[in-house]
Amino acid sequence: MSAVIEIAGLRKTFHTLRHGRRVAVDGFDMLVEAGQVHGFLGPNGSGKTTTLRALLGLVRPDAGRMRVLGADSPEHLPDVAGRVGAIVESPQFFANFTAHRTLRLLALAGGVPTARVDEVLEQVGLRDRGDERVKGYSLGMKQRLAVASALLKNPELLILDEPANGLDPAGIREMRDLTRSLAEAGVTVLLSSHILAEIQLICDHVTIVSRGRRVAYGPVEEVLAGFDQHQWRVRVADPEQAGQVLGRAGLSVAVAPDHLVVTGVEDPETISRTLGEQGVWVRELVPLRPDLESVFLELTGGHEHVAVPRQVDGAPPSDGVIDLDVRESREVDA
């Protein structure tokens, strides 16, 4: 796998009269490899847009190294610009132009054969509506037109900042299908979002950012597995009694009115056997697997005492990092 995006130690501070100094990106690292649909996930204001703008040479970072398709950014960005499509700021189109005319002008300006216009309209599902004026388009159609404009160059890498923002469920689904079809066509996609479900549905890899720092990264399944506490929800007739039985056997258990949650047990047989030996019969035994939402909340704000999220990749903390042991203080489902 070759690296398509490499970011190391990116830092960007904004200075404003009103708010003073604001650290938007704080020593951030990222690696996106060819063929990935990579989710860039973080709460509002966590630094996603600033990172993408820095990567694309739209804002000057204070520190850090960045490479896009092997070229140092921003110095050698022009060498690879023709292979990268990006929608980082919502593009504005002339309302009275049709989509076809809009794309034709963009193709001419970008030295792209105008034959691409019909191809990209087809790709984003606007072929039948290409002769309508943009002012009559829904938000989702405008978003697809924006993607079409980014696809004119037939890019190897597509960067989409919050593509589902403001879309209704049907529009979100259209963007999802479009992203998937691009990935199947071999385009590497970096997709920023604060919508967890979207990332979990579309992306194979994820980088989670909180307050300008990377707090988790890797294949989605591996990130989730890293947070698996081997928890089980157990239903029995008398949870209180069952809790005492399991507790005496040395298992970590939390009792709720109608169920128990047992933590740290890899093999569920341990639970059913321990209970069965004491004449307690299990009615239901369900694994509680973490989803991206619970991981995201833990890493980005589920902890009130966490002042600064940890950087998980071994990079030395820049300033008084409080180490966050998410597993230790996670509440059971009680």
Nearest-approach distance from CB 48 to ligand ATP, in angstroms: 4
Residue type, 24: A
Q: Considering only residues 161 through 200, tell me which ones interact with ligand ATP, judged by CB under 6 A.
A: 194
Nearest-approach distance from CB 285 to ligand ATP, in angstroms: 39
Stretch that binds ligand ATP, among 45-53, 101-109, 110-118, 183-191 (CB under 6 A): 45-53
Beta carbons of 217 and 206 less than 8 angstroms apart: yes
Nearest-approach distance from CB 80 to ligand ATP, in angstroms: 23
Q: Considering only residues 193 through 232, tell me which ones interact with ligand ATP, judged by CB under 6 A.
A: 194
Query: How many CA atoms lie less than 13 Å away from 126 in the CB half-sphere?
Result: 31
Between 15 and 305, CB nearer to ligand ATP: 15
Task: Tell me which of 5, 7, 28, 49 binds ligand ATP, using CB under 6 A.
Answer: 49
Measure Cα distances from 6 to 2, 66, 79, 154, 304 in Å: 10, 6, 16, 21, 32
Q: Using DSSP bridges, classify how beta strands 63-68 and 71-73 pair: parallel, antiparallel or unpaired.
A: antiparallel
Contact between 62 and ligand ATP by CB under 6 A: the answer reads no
Contact between 97 and ligand ATP by CB under 6 A: the answer reads no
Contact between 14 and ligand ATP by CB under 6 A: the answer reads yes
Contact between 48 and ligand ATP by CB under 6 A: the answer reads yes
Kindly give, in sequence order, each residue whose CB lies less than 8 Å from that of residue 22, ignoring residues fewer than 6 positions away. Answer: 13, 14, 15, 16
Query: How many CA atoms lie less than 13 Å away from 206 in the CB half-sphere?
Result: 27
Contact between 46 and ligand ATP by CB under 6 A: the answer reads yes
Contact between 44 and ligand ATP by CB under 6 A: the answer reads yes
- Site size toward ligand ATP (CB under 6 A) is 13
Stretch that binds ligand ATP, among 14-22, 108-116, 120-128, 235-243 (CB under 6 A): 14-22
Q: What angle do CA 86, 91, 97 make, to 5 degrees?
A: 125
Measure Cα distances from 230 to 57, 168, 210, 290 in Å: 44, 36, 26, 9
Nearest-approach distance from CB 50 to ligand ATP, in angstroms: 3
Nearest-approach distance from CB 176 to ligand ATP, in angstroms: 18
Nearest-approach distance from CB 332 to ligand ATP, in angstroms: 31
Which contacts of 106-112 are long-range, i.e. CB under 8 A and separated by 24 or more positions?
106/149, 106/152, 107/152, 110/152, 110/153, 112/152, 112/153
Task: Tell me which of 7, 39, 41, 47 binds ligand ATP, using CB under 6 A.
Answer: 47
Q: How far apart are CA 191 and CA 214, in angstroms?
A: 15
Q: How far apart are CA 48 and CA 161, in angstroms?
A: 8
Residues that bind ligand ATP (CB under 6 A): 14, 16, 22, 24, 42, 44-50, 194
